[in-house]
Amino acid sequence: MRRRHDSQALETAWHIHDAQADWTGRVDAKAAFAFSVQSLLLGFSLAVLEDIHAVYEWIIYLGGAAVLVVSAVLAASVVAPNLRSRGLKREARHHYIYFGHARHWTPDRLTRELRQGDLLPQVARQITVMAHIAWSKHVRVAWSIWLGVAGGLLLLAAAVLGRAS
């Protein structure tokens, strides 16, 4: 097995980093869309309140509304910035790709480090950190979407039952 040159490995690492940044941006867009739809469903669900009379209709309605609220909170948690402020200043002594770390560096010190240091471990670390963040965001948006569908169906059922009674 042939060993890659460090420059080729670094270039590949930056491509992976860029792909992860793209995936993170896309999941944020999905979460924003899910949050908008879920918020609209909750707003529209208020129109059926006057048609709901039976206890079981209320249970279905409130269950659907609660599930939609949970799904909206999950979607919001995806797009809300996670700045991770704890321990950043200490970590910044050795890390500089994440803007939370880089803000603790001076331009002169960062210039020296970029010229003399080995950037590959920095990018590799950032890739693994971003992978955890992207995975968590994708899991939360998936749950948000499926819970939103379930909540919407429960609200629809409550509306149909309420109109039928």
- 97-153 pLDDT per residue, tens: 888 888 999 999 999 988 888 899 999 999 999 999 999 999 999 999 999 999 999
Specify the residue for token string 């909206």: 72
What are the boundaries of each domain within the chain?
A: 7-164
Give the pLDDT confidence of 64-106 residue by residue, as tens digits: 999 999 999 999 999 998 887 788 888 888 888 888 888 999 9
Task: Check if the beta carbon of residue 14 is closer than 8 Å to that of residue 119.
Answer: no
Report pTM. 0.85
**What tokens were used for 157?**
């059922």
d(C-alpha 38, C-alpha 148), whole Å: 6
Q: Quick one: which H or E segment has residue 18?
A: helix 6-45
The percent of residues in the chain predicted with pLDDT above 90, rounded, is 69
